[in-house]
Copies of this chain bind each other. A is one copy, B any other.
């Protein structure tokens, strides 16, 4: 009688996928050679390499990323945590990242916090579970648990869009406080007396807070009354700009200049002014932020503060790559790419 066969423990498989071994056996070569032909082609001699790549194409083999990531101790992945995709502010930043990272072999994984407190902490923990090679976050305000985790991960961390705090590792952006200062100085310089701010999350979002801080302190310096803040926790949109303008004018009908947290808000306010036949800029000057497309397409065109979002993304990507190539040490921790005030029709009578 035969001895009882040892029953093989079978691990689950969603379906029998073609594995490295299948390809290797098919050609009668070692698994490592196939692995090399795919990952480090220069280490495999020409005739074999071609045969292997053919076999890969023929069998439809796809690398199992989980296995690869486990074996090599990390995944060529860069998670990017954004506040939201509901307005297009962060898309150019993503473009910047996409313009350099994929070419260097990194995949980008986009996630959004939707400005919800605590979301970032969970996201960071989850994303670090992938063992990514680096990570990109928005802003420099994070819970201490998040900061601890990021430091523990020992991977490059790039915080984008803001240079206002102390970076965990490196930051690339611009100073929101300086934006607030520039806006207030500019509007005050136009001779405006009652300068207000319309934005979202004025007390929650740290970038808004910094902008408002710079704005208020400058108004004070200029001997002007403290600016009214009209804010909402809704995401920024044209309609919201319209509604916040209505609310603001109820509180302070004498308002003669407004700085906005985003151009879509400014556009909404402009539309509402036009509806009410309030003359812009004669009666109220409007200054937007971010230089979104809509600002230069409406009539009158909306003055705005242009932010180098695409460049921020690109530089963030380049810093990561520099880090992986081992020459990042010399770079300063916080890189300020500045911003640019663009004077258009809503603050200046166009000839």
Q: Interface residues of A, CB < 8 Å — how many?
A: 58
CB distance from A132 to the nearest CB of B (A): 9
- Report A257-285 residues with CB < 8 Å from chain B CB: 267-268, 271, 274-275
Q: Is there a chain B Cβ closer than 8 Å to A286's Cβ? A: no
- Which one of B70, B154, B293, B299 lies within 8 Å of A67 (CB-CB)? B70
How many monomers of this protein are in the complex? Answer: 2
Flag if A239 contacts B129 (CB, 8 Å). Answer: no
Residue-wise, chain A 114-133 has the 8 Å CB interface mask toward B (1 for contact) of: 00000000000110111101
A109 vs B78: C-alpha distance in the bound complex, in angstroms? 12
- Which one of B13, B129, B274 lies within 8 Å of A299 (CB-CB)? B274
Flag if A70 contacts B62 (CB, 8 Å). Answer: no
Residues of B with C-beta under 8 A to A65:
66, 126, 129-131
Q: Is there a chain B Cβ closer than 8 Å to A5's Cβ? A: no
Flag if A297 contacts B238 (CB, 8 Å). Answer: yes
Chain-B contact segment, one of A86-94, A158-166, A220-228: A86-94
Residues of B with C-beta under 8 A to A83:
none
- Which one of B13, B73, B148, B268 lies within 8 Å of A13 (CB-CB)? B73
- Which one of B86, B88, B242 lies within 8 Å of A87 (CB-CB)? B88
Flag if A297 contacts B242 (CB, 8 Å). Answer: yes
Residues of B with C-beta under 8 A to A133:
14
Flag if A107 contacts B94 (CB, 8 Å). Answer: no
- Which one of B12, B60, B66, B70 lies within 8 Å of A149 (CB-CB)? B60
Q: Is there a chain B Cβ closer than 8 Å to A39's Cβ? A: no
Given contacts A85-B94, A268-B297, A271-B299, contact A62 B125 (CB under 8 A): yes
Residues of B with C-beta under 8 A to A86:
88, 91
Q: Is there a chain B Cβ closer than 8 Å to A190's Cβ? A: no
CB distance from A8 to the nearest CB of B (A): 16
A274 vs B271: C-alpha distance in the bound complex, in angstroms? 14
A/B interface sample: 29 pairs, CB < 8 A: A11-B71, A13-B73, A14-B131, A15-B154, A17-B153, A60-B149, A62-B125, A62-B129, A63-B129, A64-B70, A64-B129, A65-B66, A65-B126, A65-B129, A66-B69, A66-B70, A66-B75, A66-B131, A67-B70, A70-B70, A85-B91, A86-B91, A88-B88, A238-B293, A242-B297, A268-B297, A271-B298, A271-B299, A274-B299
Residues of A participating in the B interface, judged by any CB pair closer than 8 Å: 11-15, 17, 60, 62-75, 85-88, 91, 94, 107, 109-110, 125-126, 128-131, 133, 148-149, 152-155, 237-239, 242, 267-268, 271, 274-275, 293-294, 296-299
